[in-house]
Amino acid sequence: MGAVPSKGGNYDTTGFPPNFNGSLDYAVHPYTCKQIHAHPEHRFGIEFKVRRCRARGHGFEEAIIANVPPALHARGVKAETWYRWMELYEQLVVPHAGICCATVGFIFAWMLIIPGIIVCAVPREKYSKMQKGVKEWIRIINSELPDGLYCQPQTMEGARTRDGKNWYPVYRHVLSFALTKEEAAVLQTEEYVYGEHERGNGCCAPDRRYRIV
């Protein structure tokens, strides 16, 4: 199942990565959402994988971990600061990033019917160590960024099926950096999580109450 990214009025992707389409494993790029107003000259996003399942990779690519992005370096972010942020990600987020066991547990709970209803009623993301870890990580980054810069994760969530019956979630995470005060003001008005089909299938409209990714 493919995915067609939504486009806002006069949306211009010049300066952003070319691969904005979705796939069976990934949602479309968050910047294709018409509710996100990213300006290529004043914002850039680094893709990363928050959730881990089986041997599938997660976190940041090695090239990103080893090199402070030039746009940040040019604005005063030192290499040692960047390396420390990457180490903090490993400490605060990675230990809580597994999803397979949680998914199996969720299915098992549904098999028990009444406990399954209880599981659905509890806002699990409110107590998620992964969500809390990402939130603390972002708080630290923003407290140390040079004046005028701002950081915020932005996630697109969708749903896919390989057999037409069993749906599973797909994500696309981007760590967005606003490079000017004006762009920071725009970024701060945008939500953390969006859905590919906000008015379509319910599994494509994420619960945003307690989520940061």
Instruction: Note the pLDDT of residue 125.
Output: 56
The structure's pTM equals 0.78
What are the pLDDT digits (tens) for 120-153?
444 455 668 999 999 999 999 999 999 999 999 9
What are the pLDDT digits (tens) for 171-191?
999 999 999 999 999 999 999
Please report, in tens digits, the pLDDT of each residue of the chain (213 residues total).
Answer: 333 333 333 345 556 666 688 888 888 889 888 888 888 889 989 999 887 554 445 689 999 999 999 999 999 999 999 999 999 999 999 888 775 444 444 444 445 554 544 444 444 556 689 999 999 999 999 999 999 999 999 999 988 888 877 788 889 999 999 999 999 999 999 999 998 876 544 445 567 777 888
| CA 20 vs CA 27, 28, 185: distances in Å | 9, 6, 24
Instruction: Note the pLDDT of residue 140.
Output: 98
